[in-house]
Structure 1
């Protein structure tokens, strides 16, 4: 009887410790990368993000380095990023935008994405879903406006302004937005050069990828 109780107690403690480890690991996995200016180090810390970006590129055609440059700009890799809330004296006011998550996706665009791709288990705080959204939306931009999926600057302008907003051309007089878009383009080029040096080790790290190159 005593031995049986000891075994049960051991199992309970083991399960509790396992659950605690999983919770801690989940918390670590949601932390922003320590070196956001180096894509190889980003993927070193979060190798599953490489898989997610690679899947989005394969599905939609937008390069990994462009996708990740968007995420860097939009949220600095913070999964629950939101626009700052304005205040009047000590009273919090409504946020100016419904943008949320890694890709700062607004509610209407997110609903359109879910209708087009199925959204029962999708979340703006999931990196895989955020990257897939950017791939889907940049594919729409490419089809509607003819912007190359490698042109991070103009893709970002259309991403920020919307397809109709880009067509209007108002962004041409918005110096702040143009500086931001140029920054995204610079980061994309930087990420692209870095990825050339490390992509193979992420692409080939799974045992079943025997013929990767």
Structure 2
């Protein structure tokens, strides 16, 4: 009986380590963070380390994965029914590609970072924003431009490849709108969220 309970506990612990279930709704930052309290501290750490506002981090993850730890691009279909290859290696909260994630881990020394771990994913977003500042002159509080460089890569952003994709321009505008809304919401509940961590 004890062994069975221990196995159940370890299984639940492993599942929780791999990421929370996606929030029931994705439009209210206060509700998202009240239901996932460890996320708030992770957002704060990233803002302190990389200077990217919490609302911007959330807006990028919302666009990329809707906060699904195990999100992947849909498989292409052969003849409309046979599952084929996925269009890219994007995975996790931040939809980071294999090679970009490897670059992040080498550059930061975070060899054990996982794409399905929220804390690692937001740190990746912050790190990528710092690269966007160095390589493309984008500031951490420019969510539209950050998202365009996030999607197109720094070389593509610098060449303006995003201008060829009206859907991407609309997506970047939505990220900017979401970031502003999240920031406004967080400003109203920040003290309450921080109090739960004993910060105030």
Q: TM-score, normalised by structure 1?
A: 0.86
> Quick one: which of 20, 41, 45 aligns to 2:31?
41
Q: In angstroms, what is the RMSD of aligned CA positions? A: 1.8
Q: Distance in 1 between matches of 2:185 and 2:7?
A: 37
For structure 2, the 5+ residue unaligned runs are none
Distance 2:6 2:25 in 1: 29
Answer with 1 or 2: which has the greater Rg. Answer: 1
Q: Note if 1:171 corresponds to 2:162.
A: yes
Change (3 A) 1:22 1:38: farther
Deviates more, 1:46-55 or 1:23-32: 23-32
The answer as to 2:109 corresponding to 1:118 is yes
TM-superposed deviation, 1:173? 2.7
SS of the equivalent of 2:125 reads helix
Tell me the distance in 1 between the aligned counterparts of 2:64 and 2:161.
21
Contact in 1 for aligned 2:152/2:161 (Cα 8 Å)? no
Cα 1:22–1:40 change in 2 (3 A) is farther
- Which of 137, 157, 161 in structure 2 is aligned with 1:146? 137
Question: Counterparts of 1:74-85 in structure 2 under 5 Å?
Answer: 74-85=64-75
1:62-117 CA-to-partner distances (Å, cap 9, x unmatched) read 00000011011100010010001011134322111111000000011111001011
CA distance in 1, matches of 2:134, 2:157: 14
Greater RCO (Cα-Cα under 8 Å, separation 6 or more): 2
CA distance in 1, matches of 2:24, 2:83: 31
Q: Is the 8 A contact 2:30 2:189 kept in 1?
A: yes
Gaps of at least 5 residues in structure 1 are 1-11
* Distance in 1 between residues matched to 2:35 and 2:196, nearest whole Å: 14
